[in-house]
């Protein structure tokens, strides 16, 4: 049975469950309890239950609130995203992946409506209709990729696991029907033994493929932060950064522990094709809670994309 057929069977069963969950959730769990759970522990419910995250903003995309926007009546920071497989009537289907390390296969999934129908119309954001982040629970093995969608709404791409572990799969997209940016997530397990390597040391600099990237600025949980990435090679500034995903760099930020997803927004206008820049790329973001965050910078030079990794604590963390 091929991937679209398997996902279609998933969809039929999930549609009934998905519809029932909307009807039952409000009656079983009081809204006040949901709010309390979310506020208490970064949107993780009891025993690791996934709680629905809210919608942070891109600023100038589809009517979203800008980065750093606060909740209703200005109370508290915008909530984090990616902690739930469902939001705003849309669902991330089970993710089909190879079961073991080294096995060649396909990663595939569907963005579904409550009735099980696949969503097939998406707005382009940062040059793509969907961004997929796959990262192991300890923050290792980060991949930011862009699968393609079939006419019937199945997103897929060739896939092989390099290491075993529990992975978080985060789909970031804007449905054409609403224009509102969503990030939905699921967890998948890859068989095999591995040694977890959780980030324990703060690091604002990383060397990858001969390039050194350094982040300056403070990450704040009490307001908008400005972070500047500076790229050098052999001690010299890199001034030929090429456009990548609508900017001269793309930064992903995840909260350590639950891998909650923060949207980070490059400053400045989208570069023209063929333009180059550097060595600095500036971003805006806001951490929803005090704590430790994992940040991944993608930048492009001579047609190749490189990824640097950082670990930052929020400003003033004890």
114 contacts 86 by C-beta, under 8 angstroms: no
Residue 76: predicted pLDDT: 54
Distance CA(45)–CA(29), nearest Å, equals: 12
Query: What is the SS3 assignment for 24?
Result: helix
Q: Chain-wide mean pLDDT for the chain?
A: 80
Q: For residues 262 and 36, which has the higher predicted lDDT (pLDDT)?
A: 262
pLDDT at 94 over 50: yes
Q: Is the dihedral angle over the CA atoms 116, 118, 124, 130 positive or is it negative?
A: positive
Please tell me if the domain spanning 3-190 has the same topology as the one spanning 205-313: yes
Stronger pLDDT, 130 or 13, i.e. the higher one: 130
Q: 53-57, 192-196, 202-206: which has the minimum mean pLDDT?
A: 53-57
Q: pTM of the entire structure? A: 0.77
Taking only the tens place, the pLDDT of each residue in 144-203 is: 999 999 999 999 999 999 999 999 999 999 999 999 999 999 999 999 888 877 767 899
Q: How confident is the model at residue 78 (pLDDT cuts 50, 70, 90)?
A: low
Identify the weakest region by mean pLDDT among 51-55, 112-116, 258-262, 310-314.
Answer: 51-55
> H-helix or E-strand containing 131?
strand 130-136
Residue 317 has pLDDT above 70, yes or no: no
Domain residues of the chain, as ranges? Answer: 3-190, 205-313
Residue 78's φ and ψ, nearest 5 degrees, are: -60, 140
Contacts of 264 (CB under 8 A, 6+ apart): 67, 227, 251, 252, 253, 283, 284, 285, 295
User: What is the CATH number assigned to the segment(s) 205-313?
Assistant: 2.60.40.3340
Average pLDDT over residues 80-103: 95
**Lowest-confidence segment of 19-33, 112-126, 144-158 by average pLDDT:** 19-33
Q: What is the pLDDT of residue 131?
A: 97
Q: What is the pLDDT of residue 44?
A: 35
Closest CA to 307 of 147, 128, 143, 165: 143
Average pLDDT over residues 232-246: 97
The mean pLDDT of 103-123, rounded to a whole number, is 97
Segment among 46-60, 126-140, 236-250, 302-316 with least mean pLDDT? 46-60
Query: What would be the CATH architecture of the domain defined by 3-190?
Result: Sandwich (2.60)
Residue 163's pLDDT is: 95
Least confident of 106-120, 262-276, 300-314: 262-276
């Amino acid at each position: 049975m091929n991937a679209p057929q398997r996902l279609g069977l998933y969809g039929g069963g999930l549609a009934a469950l998905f519809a029932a969950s909307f009807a039952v959730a409000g009656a079983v769990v009081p809204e006040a309890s949901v709010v309390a759970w979310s506020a208490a522990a970064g949107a993780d419910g009891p025993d690791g239950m996934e709680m629905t995250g809210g919608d942070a903003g891109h600023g100038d995309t589809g009517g979203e609130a800008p980065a750093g926007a606060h909740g209703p009546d200005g109370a508290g920071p915008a909530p984090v995203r990616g902690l739930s497989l469902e939001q705003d009537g849309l669902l991330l289907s089970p993710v089909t992946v190879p079961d073991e390390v080294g096995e060649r296969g396909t990663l595939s999934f569907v963005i579904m409506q409550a009735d099980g129908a696949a969503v097939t119309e998406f707005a382009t954001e940062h040059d793509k209709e969907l961004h997929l982040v796959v990262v192991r629970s300890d923050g290792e093995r980060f991949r930011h990729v862009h699968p393609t969608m079939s006419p019937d709404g199945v997103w897929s791409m060739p896939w092989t696991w390099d290491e075993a572990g529990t992975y978080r799969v985060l789909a970031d997209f804007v449905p054409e029907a609403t224009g509102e940016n969503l990030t939905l997530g699921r967890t998948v397990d890859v068989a095999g033994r591995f040694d977890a390597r959780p980030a324990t040391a703060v690091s604002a600099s990383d060397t990858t493929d001969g390039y050194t990237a350094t982040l300056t600025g403070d990450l704040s949980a009490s307001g908008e932060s400005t972070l500047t990435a500076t790229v050098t090679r052999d001690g010299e500034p890199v001034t030929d950064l090429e456009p990548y995903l609508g900017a001269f760099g793309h930064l992903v930020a995840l909260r350590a522990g639950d891998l909650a997803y923060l949207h980070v927004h490059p400053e400045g206008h989208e570069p023209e094709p063929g333009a180059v820049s550097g060595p600095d790329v500036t971003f805006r973001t806001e951490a929803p809670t005090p704590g430790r965050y994992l940040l991944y910078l993608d930048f492009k030079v001579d047609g190749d994309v490189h990824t640097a990794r950082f670990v930052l604590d929020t400003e003033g963390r004890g």
